[in-house]
Structure 1
């Protein structure tokens, strides 16, 4: 089976697609097929690194917002999308995929449009609880829209499939033994074993980091370290400034050893989520799957832009009593009021963890993979032969 993936942007859009690919590859093995994947995304995109790490071929195409601010920027963006779509068409004609999985976001548009133009079945993955402009347009072109929440399904009443947020297998594996994940993380982060009885606070601003979160944590850091171990993931752009600020604090040795500052977590992220007693994070798409899968109570600080998508994501968890939410503008003032009681109250954390776990869908990747397989040209029946009508002609080079 040949699958084209189109997308990029934040980790919240990339990781669920990689989780689906993990499960789809297993399905192909069961069917004695081989999964061959090509990923089309933007230039200089985070997806390039993450996709390459997963052993998947990546090709960059031009892209831009479908609706930008100002007439001049709109014309430029439209030109970029058109150029990227032409580039993507060439890749599609050479690769001849059986189906296309688009993850939403601006980087998905050229590859998804090329697939649609050339008659390749299009499946849209909507990680957020509400679609952005690009996702709304692509949803109209898709055979199936894979949605993570019931609130997202209402935007695509005719072609949506509720599957939940696909979570990476390494996070699910880490949750099989949270205690071992915690000890492994403490060892990897060089935290003292004697402090392992303290709650672990993990602060992550997403793949791009978050200055306001970093500054709020720094402002209250001594008080937080009195209550918990703190793993502060700053983002690459903020790491040097945060590390310098910590040095200037001249924390007491017993507090300093309870703090770890890192620019970004990739391979360690599943262990960190599995080990965390409380998380402070943005409200990107990944929280809809990874927090329920790891059963982690959280304080969420939605990004004040991004079309309001993060507020929709945060409310989906807040309404279930699984998290606390505060605005970005007030996070510095409200953080101790929200966070310190939660760190001190194990019973409250247990209650919130149970509510968070109830939101999870452990078979999300399986459901999504089956949907993709059913639309591919190599859908296989029990007798080992393609189903009737699924052997569609592939696009040909002129």
Structure 2
């Protein structure tokens, strides 16, 4: 049974619930993000501690949706190095002028090729450059540009080792839901006594996860389901849910994920760093299906959970119609409490307080008159 969801009730404006806990908010900051939720969401979570920080993001339909309620956002068009446009040069020049006029105290880069633009802006404005590396295996950008960064923060110790020890541990910033689980269940029309299965494939969705879940949808009547499909598969997947004998919500995209994390009993997900941090923060048992591309980052990320029995990790090629429903049911019922206890021990995320406190520390030569 499909349900209508009043999403307007759950706007996650980054001006809401700003709590600084004594953190110096007088810092002038610029956050450089990419286009994906994995880059944008930690920046939004951290900006709740620094509400006046500016965000530079790659402009795509997904990033515009994610940042719809955010203020002080500046977009730059996607850059293609194969078909470079003169308009991109104009945008970059405007960005450099903006950075120099703002004269920030720190520039924080959250990943993607915008790290390089963040580096250039930091040099032009003569401010501190900070990289955030959330993956268990350091990305190419962090490895290539590490010697230019004043500070690098990592979530996983394995990434710090790859960066030759020039990194400092930090918890991944996550946005907290500001409503109780009971209240949200009531408002979305879900039953209190039936588990909720959250199906997500990253900010753009996963066609593989969409296909394997809908292939067994008639065998998942034991759960209420929230399925974020991504924009490309939405109509097709929505039609497939006519076979589901239970309550469900199917959405192409959701910029208010904390409300669903707060009611989820278990999740089926890719293994992006941001998703794993959110699963850890909300203590959600999960079935992780790492995306096999992207340099194997998700495989390394998932291994951190698998080694602690904090999730069930399964490769794409090992999934079929016969075994998948049993895997899901075991996570929701038989193994639920054991996995939940283990995922609760993986303390890799918080509401941004840890990152904010460490970011507020002054480094010699970059103080600009602001004391920590």
TM tier, smaller: 0.7 to 0.9
The equivalent position to 1:246 in structure 2, one of 238, 241, 244, is 241
The equivalent position to 2:272 in structure 1, one of 284, 305, 322, is 284
Using the TM superposition, give the Cα deviation of residue 145 of structure 1 relative to its aligned residue in structure 2, in angstroms: 0.7
Determine the structure 2 residue equivalent to 1:40: 56
Q: How does 1:269-308 map to 2 (within 5 A)?
A: 269-308=257-296
1:154 aligns with 2:157: no
Q: Which runs of 5+ in 2 are unaligned?
A: 1-26
1:96 aligns with 2:103: yes
Determine the structure 2 residue equivalent to 1:369: 356
Determine the structure 2 residue equivalent to 1:130: 137
Q: Which moved more, 1:80-89 or 1:285-294?
A: 80-89
Using the TM superposition, give the Cα deviation of residue 45 of structure 1 relative to its aligned residue in structure 2, in angstroms: 5.9
| 1:288-339, Cα deviation, whole Å (9 max, x unpaired) | 3211111100001111211111111111111110001112344344422421
Structure with the higher fraction of residues in helix conformation: 1
Q: How does 1:1-398 map to 2 (within 5 A)?
A: 1-25=27-51, 36-44=52-60, 46-60=62-76, 63-64=79-80, 73=82, 76=83, 85-168=92-175, 170-171=176-177, 173=178, 180-181=180-181, 183-191=182-190, 193=191, 196-225=192-221, 227-247=222-242, 249=243, 255-256=245-246, 258-267=247-256, 269-333=257-321, 334-345=323-334, 348-361=335-348, 365-375=352-362, 386-387=370-371
Q: How many residues align?
A: 344
Distance change >3 Å, CA 40–CA 134, structure 1 → 2: same
Q: Secondary structure at the match of 1:279?
A: strand
Using the TM superposition, give the Cα deviation of residue 81 of structure 1 relative to its aligned residue in structure 2, in angstroms: 8.3
Q: Secondary structure at the match of 1:145?
A: strand
Distance change >3 Å, CA 58–CA 85, structure 1 → 2: closer
Using the TM superposition, give the Cα deviation of residue 125 of structure 1 relative to its aligned residue in structure 2, in angstroms: 0.8
Q: Which moved more, 1:147-156 or 1:366-375?
A: 366-375
Distance change >3 Å, CA 215–CA 361, structure 1 → 2: closer
* Contact 1:81 1:109 (8 Å CA) reproduced: no
Q: Which moved more, 1:277-286 or 1:111-120?
A: 111-120
Distance 2:233 2:293 in 1: 19
* Contact 1:167 1:290 (8 Å CA) reproduced: yes
Considering only aligned residues, what root-mean-square deviation do their CA atoms show, in Å? 2.8
Distance change >3 Å, CA 297–CA 81, structure 1 → 2: farther
| 1:61-108, Cα deviation, whole Å (9 max, x unpaired) | 55357xxxxxxx3xx479998776544322212222111000011233
Distance 1:378 1:114 in 2: 15
Q: What is the TM-score when the length of structure 2 is the normalising length?
A: 0.83
Using the TM superposition, give the Cα deviation of residue 37 of structure 1 relative to its aligned residue in structure 2, in angstroms: 2.1
Determine the structure 2 residue equivalent to 1:28: none
Determine the structure 1 residue equivalent to 2:9: none
Using the TM superposition, give the Cα deviation of residue 184 of structure 1 relative to its aligned residue in structure 2, in angstroms: 2.9
Distance 1:130 1:80 in 2: 34
* Contact 1:23 1:369 (8 Å CA) reproduced: yes
Using the TM superposition, give the Cα deviation of residue 112 of structure 1 relative to its aligned residue in structure 2, in angstroms: 2.9
